[in-house]
Amino acid sequence: MEDVNAYIESGILELYVLGQLSALEIAEVEAMAAKHPEVKAELSAIEIALETYALENSITTSEELELRILSQFDDEKSTITANPATPEQKIIPLYKGRDEGKIKVLRFSLVACIALLVVSLVALYSVYNRLNLAQDQIATLSRDKQQFATTVSKLQFEKSGMENRIAMVDNAEWTTVKLAGVPKSPEAKMLVFWNKTNKNVLINYAAIELPKTDKAHEYQLWALVDGKPVSLGVFTEVDNAKEAVVQMAAIQKAQAFAVTIEPTGGSINPTMEKMVVMGAI
C-alpha cells in the first residue's frame, strides 16, 4: 500500500495525464491503474482538475469558425482526408502563360521548319536537274569547240603547205620531182622538192596522196643514186604530221626518188615489194 502511495506521490500520474511520458512509462502507469483502484481514482481526479482548469481558460470561438469547422462534418460519415486549412499542395507553374506561349512558338517553328525543308528539297532537285543539263551543254560545247579547233588547225596546216608549195613553184632553185603510183597502188602520188643549190630535200603534205599505213608502219623516202637506194628519212601519215612541210636528208645527186612502207623507225634497205610511188628526175 505504501508503494502505491509513493507511486501516486512521485508525480508520474500528473505527467501521464499531461502526455509527458515515454511509451514504456505509459504502459507502466496503465498497468498500475488497472491493478490499483486508488491509482485509477487519482488519475481521474487529476484529469478532472486539468479539464476544469482548461475549461476555465477557454477562449470563446467565433460563429464563423464554428460554422466553418462543423460544416465539414454535416454529411460526413466517412473519413475526412482533406483539410481545407492546409489544402493539398498543388504545383502551379509560376509562368504558365509563358510556357504555353513557348510551346506554341516551338510548334509553329517545327511546322515552319518542315515546310522549309520540303521547299528546299524541291529547289535542290530542280537545281540538280539544271546542273545536269548545264553540264551536258558544256560537254557538247566543248566537244564542238574541240572539233572546231581541229578543223582550224587542219586548215592552217593545209594552208601552210599550200603556201610553201606555191613558193616552191615560183622559185627557180627548186626542182619538183613527181612520184607516180606503181602498178600495185596506181592512185598514189606525191611531189618531192630538191634544191639545186644546197641539195636539200623537202616534202609537202599538201602534195602527198599515199595509201594508208597501220600504226606499226610509216613511209620511208629513198633516193636512187647510181642504182643504189639511199635513205632520206621516214615520214608519217598526214594525220600524225606536225608540220605541213618536212625537211628530209640532203642528197648530192640522185636519179630517182621512191617511197616504201617500212616498219616504224625505217629500214636499212628498202622493201621493194612495199614500194608505193616512184619518180625519176
Partner 1 sequence: MSLSKKISLTEDELVSALKNRETIAIKALYDMYSGALLGVISRIIVHTEVAEDLLQETFIKIWNSGASYDSSKGRLFTWMMNIARNISIDKLRSKDFKNANKNQDIENNVDFIDEQKKVSFNADTLGLKELVTALKSDYQDVLNMVYFKGYTHVEAAEELNLPLGTVKTRVRMAILELRKKFN
Residues near partner 1, by CB under 8 A? 9-12, 14-15, 17-20, 30, 33-34, 43-61, 63, 65-70, 72-77, 79-80, 83-86
Closer to partner 1 by CB, 49 or 105: give it.
Answer: 49
Shortest Å, Cβ 55 to partner 1: 5
Closer to partner 1 by CB, 70 or 92: give it.
Answer: 70
Shortest Å, Cβ 93 to partner 1: 21
Closer to partner 1 by CB, 68 or 184: give it.
Answer: 68
Helix/strand/coil percent split, the chain, to 5? 50, 20, 30
Shortest Å, Cβ 95 to partner 1: 23
Cα separation of 71 and 60, whole Å? 18
Shortest Å, Cβ 42 to partner 1: 10
Q: Which neighbouring-strand residues pair with 261?
A: 219
Closer to partner 1 by CB, 11 or 93: give it.
Answer: 11
Helix (H) / strand (E) element for 105: namely helix 96-170
Half-sphere exposure of 183 (CA within 13 A, CB side): 2
Assess contact for 276 and 259: CB atoms under 8 A. yes
Closer to partner 1 by CB, 56 or 273: give it.
Answer: 56
Shortest Å, Cβ 41 to partner 1: 12
User: In this structure, what C-alpha cell is assigned to residue 137?
Assistant: 551543254
Read off the DSSP letter of residue 72. Answer: T
Cα separation of 103 and 96, whole Å? 11
